[in-house]
Structure 1
């Protein structure tokens, strides 16, 4: 399928604070179905410090994780959306995108990067880097406003779009796609791409640049550093290797301005705890009571591999002291059931 269709994309500098629920008021841009690297912008294929980019990014797949199938990568530019077809373009097309996905010169704006990063790493050897995760950014904005870190996970993309600060729109089509995926997990593998698939893939990225600019306006310097660090740690989260991520990009350093102003934040880290097979339930507890108590007892984020894996592991991200506290609380729950 070679035709470019069109969609509407909000351009942050011109959008002001108005809601985005009227597509007819928004600029129309083409959607390109990409099956060969030559169809992608040159500045994306060959990242350069002279041409730094900010793009919206997402992935779709069949059971998207290390063992699933990456089907589409969506790239949102201010003037176009590119749907990179990993099924028809095959491995060579995804590999052509590797320099951009690993580049420090291209900022990838994404909502919850963990599974996308895992799929790219284990299926194609790509170390996703320099992401702005809007899920993390939203949490940091709420922390700046004095709210506690969410204990039941981050905000969904649907709920983020519904927030008047970041769009104020209802993304009802997302529910429709979820129904299709439950009925047929191979939904994203079928070719040619249907109009529904094209529209759904584009919808997942077409608002990201608008959201990005709105969030940058709200984040202070300390939060911006935390956003960069946590984004790096989220990209690593499910990508466990044997060298403690020595071959991954280093964590961002604390800005000198924060150090000079005695505002230096505590170092943040990722910890991976091994849980004896069959014992994860002790950590979670009946109706989640144990894990809720653990989360209330620390300011770190606790993530489970779930049924997608990695199994029998708990991932903890946050300030070092809070991560160590979470580790102790989790081990305490396990020891309580052993003795």
Structure 2
């Protein structure tokens, strides 16, 4: 076993160490367990607008033994600069002692828990879980969803569409390294008829997908998480509402699901992922024919699930994972 870095020995994990403690299937399982845990408390996240169009997100959550807070900056102006749009940390505390146990890399947690939530939804709702998978958007979430669906669903063919051909080719190389066949396409809408799995992972500044999904399609949309953002055309959302089913990640989507709100849909009436998981995929409002759209906006509960899983992994590696002390902050 490689020696831990000085920071890792104090419980501060970089991106690679954070990812290693959040394997895809185990993280999806942990999210499902959290949705059935009555001790989980998740306040509505705070969003503080920043100068130059950025935002600071403050996302706390707790269960009976663990408390965590995620502090994340979202900086759209970083697109194309080489700097990440999402930066920050997840701080994990032991409730019994008050000790900080871990500091996880925030963007890594965000990427992995978001894709793992999509994986969990696909496990319950996708009718053709082996794909092919169409990924719209070739950034961090595009890679995370490729990894999650390849490792968690057995997808072996991935189609990639991006406004940037260079980004698409870079993602294609990463996906090929995972053992999947890859096709880069210039037009996402033209690929829709060929792909029963679709993940839209764009920055959601403009609509990225207009084509109506095939009747057996599962679409997960993760790029828009405010009322003013949308990556799916209103007509697409309305079509799925009429002919298939729409599931949102949590009830917070009532205020955040820009794709659905801009389509004029009654978001409050839609089932949540918790409804689906707790009913074992038989939520009455999810049709068993027609396409399914899973709309993900983000929730601190997903970060709490990641913190719980990472903490269990940490307890299995005591030499590298000593708790942080007050003097090490």
Same fold (TM over 0.5): no
> TM-score by structure 2 length?
0.25
> TM-score by structure 1 length?
0.25
